[in-house]
Amino acid sequence: MSAPRIALSLLLFVAVAGVYSPSLRHEFVHYDDYAYIVDNPRTRSEGGPGAWLARAMEPALANWNPLTTFSFQLEHAAHGLSSSGVHATNVALHALASSLLFLALSSLTASTWPDRSINFRVNVFEGF
């Protein structure tokens, strides 16, 4: 892995984190945050990891999403019911995913910058 790719990946991480950072000042939204996080007893971190996994395997709101429930339990253990803590985790995950996707695509294509022929092919197939 080359130094320019790593540097661009770190720059992308910082840029994405900067774009999403205003969410740190926001509260939970009333769409589904209260149902999934605040008012959901399955997302509490009491009882230790064994109890967390058992509760994570139970359906929540007619959905079975054990990984999501388990991640909410970890966030509850780390931040309690702080919306800024949950948002900080989301900011970090978005920034990390963007950086890793850049590294993967640049490694798979053996190119740090997009190729003009790819842009031409995309424009031709999409009809400009």
Mean pLDDT of 34-52: 80
Dihedral sign from CA coordinates of 41, 47, 52, 58:
negative
Domain parsing of the chain, residue ranges: 3-126
Residue 34: closest CA among 84, 83, 91: 83
Task: Report the distance separating Cα 53 and Cα 74, nearest Å.
Answer: 11
Q: What is the DSSP letter of 113?
A: S
Question: Which of the four pLDDT bands, split at 50, 70 and 90, describes residue 116?
Answer: low
pTM passes above 0.85? no
Question: Which of the four pLDDT bands, split at 50, 70 and 90, describes residue 114?
Answer: low
pLDDT at 2: 84
Give the type of residue at 20.
Y
Mean pLDDT of 19-31: 92
Give the type of residue at 61.
L
Mean pLDDT of 14-19: 96
